[in-house]
Structure 1
Amino acid sequence: MAVVREFTLPDLGEGLTEAEIVRWLVQVGDVVAVDQPVVEVETAKAMVEVPCPYGGVVTARFGEEGTELPVGAPLLTVAVGEPATGSDGDSGPEDTGRDSGTLAPPGGEGSGNVLVGYGTQAPAARRPRVRAPGGRAARTQGGPVATGEAGKASEAGEAVGAGRSAGAVGSVRAAAPVEAGTRAVISPLVRRLARERGLDLAHVCGSGPDGLITRADVERATASPAPVPGRAAVASGTPSAAGRPEDGAERIPLRGMRGAVAEKLGRSRREIPDATCWVDADATELLAARRAMNAAGDPKISLLAVLARITTAALARYPELNATVDTEAREIVRLPGVHLGFAAQTDRGLVVPVVRNAHTLNAVRLSEEIARLTEAARAGALTPAELTGGTFTLNNYGVFGVDGSTPIINHPEAAMLGVGRIVPKPWVWEGELAVRQVVQLSFTFDHRVCDGGTAGGFLRYVADCVERPAVLLRSV
């Protein structure tokens, strides 16, 4: 007899609590192998393909492309083992063959893997079942119903159940009330967001499995859209076609990577008392030095790599800027290694890949690592580990054709160096007016970590290295 196993959205690590379905890689009825990728999802960190730990026939998918699901929500069900021949009697929890959220037993058809590179899924606790009409066993709070023939997809393949969104395909749902006094586990991220917005979670109805309150629930509960003239206000605050302005304004959900960026930048503005200083520097000699380095042979060194090497040298002189602030302990934490982030624009938004231990790399190795991470960013292939853990960020906004900027610090870091475009400008050089290649450098810093003297000293050292690259040789 076939066993229908449910595969839920796994914990992708790095504190991620939800993901958006970007593209299904299988259809209902497809045969899948163990560890075959079945869906492509976008998290707040990266785009990843999720492999299924079971081999068999896909009997249901939950969520259309574009749907955001919390960790632990069902993704799909797979019928594994020998096909069932059918049965006429009631099929209860004991004989459905359905294993809710658990991995295959040792020696069975499941691999135990959930996401390559992200560890494995721990067995989930079984959820209580209730008897549903028609002799089927149903899980509480929108769990999928198991039919009397476990080898088949649900007989109501196109129906959408009470406990799940319209994105569920090939499954019937039934819901039962949550027992009094019980409450779904809420992630620290959601609790913090609710606390910041002054929302009492006791009054929020969760849309996740078993009433789980998600970040989207908190955002909906605290949304306050402006009233549209001549129209009644939408009571729930949830955007709907009827509540949109008549001028055709578009509403774009802040979720996935864009939502993560918005959350992080908003937190930085709320928590960090930042200040910015800037200086113009003559980059003519720096460009000449880079041309000379590249003329010496391959591999070629990018300008960003040269600036990254200058940055790590400056941080060696001013280590107090390679730090973070522990607000709860009221302490400045100076970090021993430089994990250098650099801003990279992609089709899916701004990301900040991190070069690990950048202070140990020369210009050649920095150039190679920056190129590798940039390519992975544009392909949407960066791992969460490559997008987290930075201690200082280098922002080359000159690629957008602008001279200056006052960037927002990449929380929880303490500073960011910005580099504008390099353009020919009139410049006094050796006592005479000349046309030189000039760049504006800006430095934004957390004023809790240092005062203007330290920030100015750091920026001045960077500018000196740009104007006279030989200064850098003193620290090589």
Structure 2
Amino acid sequence: MAQVLEFKLPDLGEGLTEASIVTWLVQVGDVVAVDQPVVEVETAKAMVEVPCPYGGVVTARFGEEGSELPVGSPLLTVAVGTPAEGEGDDEGSGNVLVGYGTAAAPARRRRVRRQDAVPAAAPAAPGRTAPSVSPAPPPEATPRSGPVSVISPLVRKLAREHGVDLRELPGSGPDGLILRADVESAMRETVQVRTHVAEAEAVAPAAAPSQVSAQAPTPSDTSADGIRVPLRGIRGAVADKLTRSRREIPDATCWVDADATEFMHARVAMNAAGGGKISVLALLARICTAALARHPELNSRVDLAAREVVQLDAVHLGFAAQTERGLVVPVVKDAHGRDAESLSAEFARLTEAARAGRLTPGELTGGTFTLNNYGVFGVDGSTPIINHPEAAMLGVGRIIPKPWVHQGELAVRQVVQLSLTFDHRVCDGGTAGGFLRYVADCVEQPAVLLRTL
């Protein structure tokens, strides 16, 4: 006899208390295996696929896509019992942190399909003829059936939030794949239609306004002033953290221009020697860890309750990464113990995971210092907001040819602007200036770094 078990939203760690349902991966009636992902949720830290610890048939789901659920609330129910031939074990997986799944690959998802067969006619009574059953005529228009091919759950969520019906949206990607640009184009068309309707209503006869407005139904979250984007999930968490940082941290910024010509030549020489490629960001990160060893005040945080500045031993280096869902700051743990090649590989791995939405909460928290390479956006300088509760952030502008006095003569050199935004409670301007000057000296003369290796 089957037993119905309830699977609740697990504790995903890092003090998270709620999650938003992005995409259900199963339907009621689906057969699921132990540890098969059943739903994709977005927390304030990352996107996570949540696997179910039971194997059986899904009998109910709780929560629509886009809704928020607190930790511990029901996600779905699964009927488990004696497994049918060919089905896996129905015992729970025993995982403590289910939100991160297991190493084993999930079994192939099977779906219980309801057949659209014509119901059998009831036996006719003696002396009567059984009535014939005719199939219903097909509808005049048939919408796209089956799963809709969408490039990512984020695009599906964007469409849902702005009232875009993916089943009616032609995709511009390969094999009709719906891209983010397709959804955004549909959103713009909706706003334009609404604007045109409003203009038509303004000049239309008062007797027939309903005929005009009925032609263009619009989503509830659009208005004549633009499109409303909810501050939820990662975007909401970033907004809260930046607001808190601006409110609590008395920051100051200093900056300096540096001749990065020798720095760029050194990178070319390193990469020509073979082995893993070294990125500009990795070399700057290595310089940062050396500078923090000389100025540990900037690798700290303020304990307001104890009224103390806590200097930290390890350097967990965060770096700003722009993704479809906004700005995130992955963290390279123990950056002070890595060489340039290891740093380069870890930056590449975390950047790819950030763009794919696969970063775990642990990879987005625990930073002690942040490196912000805003030069990739084609700008020279910035005064960024410190990533609370850290004490400082190094900003790097674009590296471009500029006129520069080199060895007493005017020459064209590769120049970069470096800036340091710091919490004035942890140090004064002398310490911040010393840190920034050391970084600039290492950029101008990479051999300076050898003294601390």
Same fold, judged at TM 0.5 (above): yes
**C-alpha displacement at 1:246, in angstroms?**
5.0
Contact 2:34–2:90 (CA under 8 A) maintained in structure 1: no
Q: Give the structure 2 partner of residue 6 of structure 1.
A: 6
Report matched runs for 1:38-437 at 5 Å: 38-81=38-81, 109-113=91-95, 115-116=97-98, 247-437=224-414
Contact 2:256–2:417 (CA under 8 A) maintained in structure 1: yes
Which of 421, 427, 432 is equivalent to 1:450?
A: 427
**C-alpha displacement at 1:288, in angstroms?**
0.5
Letter in 1 for 2:232: R
* Alignment deviations for residues 148-205 of structure 1 (CA, whole Å, 9 cap, x no partner): xxxxxxxxxxxxxxxxxxxxxxxxxxxxxxxxxxxxxxxxxxxxxxxxxxxxxxxxxx
Secondary structure at the aligned position of 2:75 is classed as: strand
Secondary structure at the aligned position of 1:421 is classed as: coil
Inter-partner Cα distance in structure 2 for 1:271 and 1:383 = 27
Which of 431, 438, 445 is equivalent to 1:468?
A: 445
Q: Name which one, 1 or 2, has greater alpha-carbon Rg.
A: 2
Distance 1:423 1:17, change over 3 A: same
Inter-partner Cα distance in structure 2 for 1:321 and 1:360 = 18
* Alignment deviations for residues 339-398 of structure 1 (CA, whole Å, 9 cap, x no partner): 111111111211111111111111111111111111111121111111111110000000
Which deviates the most, 370-379 or 274-283? 370-379
Aligned: 1:439 with 2:416? yes
* Alignment deviations for residues 315-356 of structure 1 (CA, whole Å, 9 cap, x no partner): 011011110000000000000111111111111211111111
Contact 1:340–1:391 (CA under 8 A) maintained in structure 2: yes
Letter in 1 for 2:224: D
Q: Give the structure 2 partner of residue 198 of structure 1.
A: none
Inter-partner Cα distance in structure 2 for 1:112 and 1:242 = 43
**C-alpha displacement at 1:112, in angstroms?**
3.0
Inter-partner Cα distance in structure 1 for 2:7 and 2:220 = 36
Inter-partner Cα distance in structure 2 for 1:468 and 1:43 = 44
Contact 1:53–1:114 (CA under 8 A) maintained in structure 2: no
Q: What are structure 1's unaligned runs of at least 5 residues?
A: 84-106, 121-240
Secondary structure at the aligned position of 2:226 is classed as: coil
Contact 2:10–2:98 (CA under 8 A) maintained in structure 1: no
With normalisation by structure 1, the TM-score equals 0.67
Contact 1:52–1:113 (CA under 8 A) maintained in structure 2: no
Q: What are structure 2's unaligned runs of at least 5 residues?
A: 84-88, 103-217
Inter-partner Cα distance in structure 1 for 2:31 and 2:99 = 24
Letter in 2 for 1:112: G
Contact 1:43–1:256 (CA under 8 A) maintained in structure 2: yes
* Alignment deviations for residues 57-103 of structure 1 (CA, whole Å, 9 cap, x no partner): 111111222222111122111111159xxxxxxxxxxxxxxxxxxxx
Distance 1:273 1:49, change over 3 A: same
Q: Give the structure 1 partner of residue 137 of structure 2.
A: none
Aligned: 1:18 with 2:21? no
Instruction: Return structure 1 stretches of 4+ with deviation > 3 angstroms.
Output: 114-120, 241-246
Contact 1:340–1:356 (CA under 8 A) maintained in structure 2: yes
Contact 2:35–2:101 (CA under 8 A) maintained in structure 1: no
Distance 1:316 1:81, change over 3 A: same
Secondary structure at the aligned position of 2:275 is classed as: coil
* Alignment deviations for residues 6-30 of structure 1 (CA, whole Å, 9 cap, x no partner): 1111110001111111111111000
With normalisation by structure 2, the TM-score equals 0.71
Inter-partner Cα distance in structure 1 for 2:3 and 2:99 = 28
Aligned residue pair count? 333
Contact 2:300–2:390 (CA under 8 A) maintained in structure 1: yes
Q: Which has the higher helix share?
A: 2
Root-mean-square deviation (CA, aligned residues, Å) is: 2.0
Inter-partner Cα distance in structure 2 for 1:465 and 1:18 = 45
Distance 1:114 1:41, change over 3 A: farther
Contact 2:41–2:47 (CA under 8 A) maintained in structure 1: yes
Q: What percent identity do the matched residue pairs reach? A: 82
Inter-partner Cα distance in structure 1 for 2:37 and 2:263 = 47
Contact 1:283–1:437 (CA under 8 A) maintained in structure 2: yes
Letter in 2 for 1:58: V
* Alignment deviations for residues 274-318 of structure 1 (CA, whole Å, 9 cap, x no partner): 111111111111000110111111211001000000000100110
Contact 2:33–2:90 (CA under 8 A) maintained in structure 1: no
**C-alpha displacement at 1:53, in angstroms?**
1.1
**C-alpha displacement at 1:111, in angstroms?**
2.3
Contact 1:51–1:114 (CA under 8 A) maintained in structure 2: no
Inter-partner Cα distance in structure 2 for 1:242 and 1:364 = 50
